[in-house]
Amino acid sequence: MFRGNLPALRRGACIALLIAGSTACLAQGNQAQKSNPTPKPPPALTSNYVKTGLYFISGGGGNTVMRLSASGIILVDGNLSENFDELLHRIKKIVDQPIRVVINTSHYREHTSTNAQFLAEKINVIAQENVKGNLTAYNAAGHTIALPSVTYDREQALHFGPVEVRMLHFGNAHTSGDTVVYFADLRAVALGDLYSANPEPDLKAGGSLAGWSSFLGEVLKLDFDVAIPGNGPSVTRADVEACKARIDSLLAHKSMQRQPEKSSTQLAQAK
């Protein structure tokens, strides 16, 4: 996941490069030109098969989940805008069908920055309604990302023939606008940033560690055996249970830290 401070770091890196570049130009007159590092090619995207009708494209910022249906493709998260053409190319190599809808699992740029490009192709972008506010705040911090064209509150199902795509929001977790996408017939979920090796809620965007735990508790009530996170390889139900356990132990640790004063008072009262 990309955090709010990353763009600032990137700008910092650009400035540093510019300064280094001008130093190199000044130095050229005095000494032999040092070999310029060749610019890195953009990271290639990789297609990953999950189950019949379910793939995800990884790399270049995050995962884009791809659910096939007889009437077109459903995408979950759209990667970075600079990877748009490569993403379409990867999708077309799997199946040459129209994209019907794009779902944003949260507001961060690796999930949303192709929104404008999809919207320009008359493809609807759907997200939980709090993504609009989070994205507006995120944009105010220097991004220019298009808002979703459709939003929902708690639950929204889309039907493409027999294929059902269910968007679920169980309250504030990593942010206030997280969506889990459930493909019931495939027993699969797209988790976005709700699966994390190092769970850290984005408090500025309405995140809550306790909410995150109960959100995953609700997800674990669904019948699934594979989950696709916002980044990295697909994981199992046991991995999602372990993620929830990590969050619960962080919560327990936090409440232990808060407890002593209260407990000693309670102990004193009990005497």
C-beta of residue 79 within 8 angstroms of C-beta of residue 115 = no
Between 62 and 211, whose beta carbon lies closer to Zn ion? 62
The least distance separating Zn ion from the CB of residue 203, rounded to whole angstroms, comes to 16
The least distance separating Zn ion from the CB of residue 141, rounded to whole angstroms, comes to 16
- Give me the residue whose beta carbon is nearest to Zn ion: 1
Give the interface segment with Zn ion, choosing from 67-75, 169-177, 187-195, 238-246 (CB under 5 A).
Answer: 187-195
Q: For 24-63, where are the E strands, in sequence order?
A: 46-51, 54-58
**Site for Zn ion (CB under 5 A): which residue of 108, 138, 182, 212?**
108
Contact flag: residue 78 with Zn ion (CB under 5 A):
no
Give the interface segment with Zn ion, choosing from 40-48, 164-172, 192-200, 204-212 (CB under 5 A).
Answer: 192-200
Cα–Cα dist 17/7, whole Å:
15
Give the interface segment with Zn ion, choosing from 4-12, 128-136, 225-233, 243-251 (CB under 5 A).
Answer: 225-233
- Tell me how far CA of residue 68 lies from CA of 50, 121, 161, 167, in angstroms: 12, 19, 11, 16
Give the interface segment with Zn ion, choosing from 17-25, 46-54, 107-115, 162-170 (CB under 5 A).
Answer: 107-115
Between 200 and 239, whose beta carbon lies closer to Zn ion? 200
Between 69 and 169, whose beta carbon lies closer to Zn ion? 169
Q: For the chain, where are the E strands, in sequence order?
A: 46-51, 54-58, 64-69, 72-76, 99-104, 124-128, 150-152, 155-160, 163-168, 180-183, 188-192, 226-229, 235-236
Please tell me the count of residues contacting Zn ion according to CB under 5 A.
Answer: 4
Helix (H, G, I), strand (E, B) or coil at 76: strand
What is the tally of helices (H) and strands (E) in the chain? 7, 13
Nearest by Cα to 101 from 66, 75, 77:
75
Contact flag: residue 230 with Zn ion (CB under 5 A):
yes
Interface ranges with Zn ion (CB under 5 A): 1, 108, 193, 230
